[in-house]
Amino acid sequence: MLVLGIDPGSETTGWGIVEGDARRCRLVGFGTVRAPARQRFAARLLKISDGIEAVIGRFHPDACAVEQAFYAANVQTAIKLGQVRGVILVAAERAGVEIAEYAPRLIKQTVVGYGGAEKQQVQEMVRVLLRMRELPQPHDAADALAIAITHLHHTSPAGRAAQAAKPPPARVKLEALLRENARRR
């Protein structure tokens, strides 16, 4: 399965493409769609929509996984983020791509093993899970890859069985990595 993960943002929207299933996934590509703050908001929404449509047209994903809206302290920020999510959902729907939405805590729980993980922890686990040499940059793209990985873990039969039987594979890899680092010290 080829999954497009999207981390919505009104200035920087991250995207990441992952292929595979819950047991094994590989990196296909990642990047961002940037919409400068100096542009009118409607123009930024158009740029984000066009950018996501271009990514979908280039990679032809089977599914599009998007981070759900969270409660922001600033109401205006939450409304703008909702509008960004709207143009992303419309772009995916227009392309006929299956759409799934995941809460930020679930994404962190799936990838890191802890729902309150920091951005750096998510980046590091994405790097480990996708066998990347360097951290995916910027963090918006790393978050998008984490969202795509989450979709693989929550939709494949292997992922559902693993969740029911044991800790998430990301948690197992993290614990092995921590043990290895402890031995080096």
- Alpha-carbon torsion angle 106, 111, 113, 118, nearest 10: -80
Q: Is 21 a catalytic residue?
A: no
Q: Using CA atoms, how far apart are residues 55 and 42, in angstroms rounded to an integer?
A: 20
Q: Which residues contact 59 (CB under 8 A, 6 or more apart)?
A: 2, 4, 17, 28, 29
67 is catalytic: yes
How far, in Å, CA of 73 to CA of 71, rounded?
A: 7
Catalytic residue among 7, 19, 124, 143: 7
> What kind and span of H or E run contains 131?
none
**Could you give the angle at the alpha carbon of 114 between the alpha carbons of 2 and 3, nearest 5°?**
5
Residue of 171, 9, 182 whose CA lies nearest to 82:
9
Question: Which member of 19, 67, 124, 143 is catalytic?
Answer: 67
Active site residue 50: no
Pair 92, 52: CB distance under 8 Å: yes
19, 124, 140, 143: the active-site residue: 140
**Catalytic center residues:** 7, 67, 140
